């Protein structure tokens, strides 16, 4: 079963990359043709049409390998972000510069002499728009579908998010992305006056926390989520009191440690407010610079990597810039799931999955 699952995953990955490779080939060819077409006002002279057909194989031979080099076919299509778009732009820029450099070296060859420089600039613009657009398409469609469909169609409760910072933004993004969370965000509450009226993923910042009870009544709120992982207990007590004054009984919170250790807020981490959240607690400060200095550029081996602690250590090792990660465990299924997650969250990092028992001396020595 495990082997079939791995083979199926590999086949899916191969088909996905082949589809992207074919799409990129078509887009690169189309971009160059449109560049000639735009340069000559939709009437390409025969000499320059021949030049297009002659230079097209050169453009493909230069740009496609560079896309592979920049790991463009290792992106997770559904989770393209700023880092992936930056790499896309960089790959397009290097490819266009390489194309221009080779044409410059061949400038004395009659077949390509007189190549309009504007064609190269237009070609770069169309290539960047095309390659970036196709990689953003799935996320854009999913986002539009999610916003249109809404969690209310799945029984989502009208929810106010207290805290319009990074934690709140990640929380709302997760709620909108996942199909069935049980929540539907109808507004943010934040004390920062600069944020009032802003839209975050289409959800408006309504105003300060002191008006929480009013917002609950006007927005017909059914649940409140406190998205302030590092807030002191006094702030949490005040927020809970205001929510209850507004008539809301379902009050949830993001745990204090979730943001500190993962750097990412997940919807699954939301839980009920507990007595210890309302009591005083010491502020914990983690020296992330020291951790990064210790891990960056190093090869790291983590045993028990498929467990909850081990998998989190793997995430942190990659997050803080380890050069190479080896994840060891005897749980093949757990390692498979970990590998899929690491590839999605850290597409540009190296992580090697190893199946083995720490009690096996020969295996450990070989590693």
What separation in angstroms does the CA of 324 have from each of 17, 240, 319? 24, 45, 12
Separation of alpha carbons 302 and 110, rounded Å: 60
How are the residues of the chain apportioned to helix, strand and coil, as percentages rounded to the nearest 5? 60, 15, 30
Question: What's residue 140's pLDDT?
Answer: 73
Contact 68, 18 (CB under 8 A): no
Domains of the chain as residue ranges with CATH: 2-148 (no CATH), 152-278 (3.40.50.720), 288-366 (3.40.50.720)
Question: What's residue 312's pLDDT?
Answer: 86
Question: What's residue 259's pLDDT?
Answer: 46
Beta-carbon contacts of 187 under 8 Å, excluding residues fewer than 6 positions away, are: 160, 161, 203, 204, 205, 206, 215, 219
Strands 157-162 and 199-200, how do they pair? unpaired
Q: What stretch of H or E contains 24? A: helix 2-39
Contact 167, 229 (CB under 8 A): yes
Beta-carbon contacts of 243 under 8 Å, excluding residues fewer than 6 positions away, are: 212, 213, 216, 224, 251
User: Which residue has 């390998």 as its token pair?
Assistant: 65
In this prediction, the residues of the chain whose per-residue pLDDT falls under 70 are 1-13, 76-79, 142-155, 179, 256-266, 276-277, 279-285
User: Which residue has 């735009």 as its token pair?
Assistant: 38
3-state secondary structure of 71: coil
Tokens of 358: 């720490």
Q: What stretch of H or E contains 219? A: none
Question: What's residue 163's pLDDT?
Answer: 92
Tokens of 146: 């999610």
Contact 340, 9 (CB under 8 A): yes
- Partnered with residue 42 across adjacent β-strands are none
Question: What's residue 260's pLDDT?
Answer: 42
Question: What's residue 28's pLDDT?
Answer: 95
Contact 242, 224 (CB under 8 A): no
């Amino acid at each position: 079963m495990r082997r079939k699952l791995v083979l199926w995953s590999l086949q899916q990955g191969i088909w996905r990359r082949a589809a992207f490779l074919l799409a990129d080939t078509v887009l690169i060819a189309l971009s160059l043709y449109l560049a000639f077409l735009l340069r000559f006002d939709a009437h390409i002279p025969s000499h320059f049409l021949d030049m297009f057909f002659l230079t097209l194989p050169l453009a493909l031979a230069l740009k496609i390998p560079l896309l592979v080099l920049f790991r463009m076919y290792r992106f997770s299509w559904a989770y393209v972000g700023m880092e992936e778009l930056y790499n896309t732009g960089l790959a397009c820029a290097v490819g266009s510069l390489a194309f221009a450099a080779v044409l410059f070296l061949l400038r004395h060859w009659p077949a390509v002499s007189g190549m309009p420089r504007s064609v190269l600039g237009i070609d770069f613009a169309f290539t960047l728009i095309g390659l970036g657009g196709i990689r953003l398409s799935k996320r854009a469609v999913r986002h539009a579908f999610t916003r249109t469909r809404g969690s209310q169609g799945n029984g989502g409760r009208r929810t106010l998010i207290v805290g319009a910072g990074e934690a709140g933004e990640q929380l709302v993004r997760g709620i909108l992305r996942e199909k069935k969370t049980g929540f539907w965000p109808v507004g943010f509450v934040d004390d920062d006056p600069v944020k009032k009226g802003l839209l975050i993923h289409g959800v408006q910042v309504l105003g300060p926390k002191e008006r929480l009870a009013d917002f609950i009544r006007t927005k017909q709120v059914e649940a409140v989520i406190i998205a302030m992982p590092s807030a002191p207990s006094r702030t949490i007590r005040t927020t809970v009191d205001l929510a209850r004054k507004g008539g809301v009984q379902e009050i949830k919170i993001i745990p204090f440690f979730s943001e500190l250790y993962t750097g990412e807020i997940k919807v699954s981490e939301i839980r009920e407010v507990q007595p210890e959240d309302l009591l005083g607690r010491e502020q914990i400060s983690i020296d992330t610079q020291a951790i990064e200095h210790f891990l960056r550029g190093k090869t790291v081996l983590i045993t028990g990597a498929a467990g909850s602690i081990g998998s989190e250590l793997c995430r942190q090792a990659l997050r803080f810039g380890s050069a190479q990660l080896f994840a060891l465990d005897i749980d093949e299924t757990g390692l498979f799931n970990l590998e899929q997650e690491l590839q999605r969250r850290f597409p540009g990092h190296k992580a090697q999955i190893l199946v083995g028992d720490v009690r096996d001396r020969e295996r450990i020595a070989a590693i």
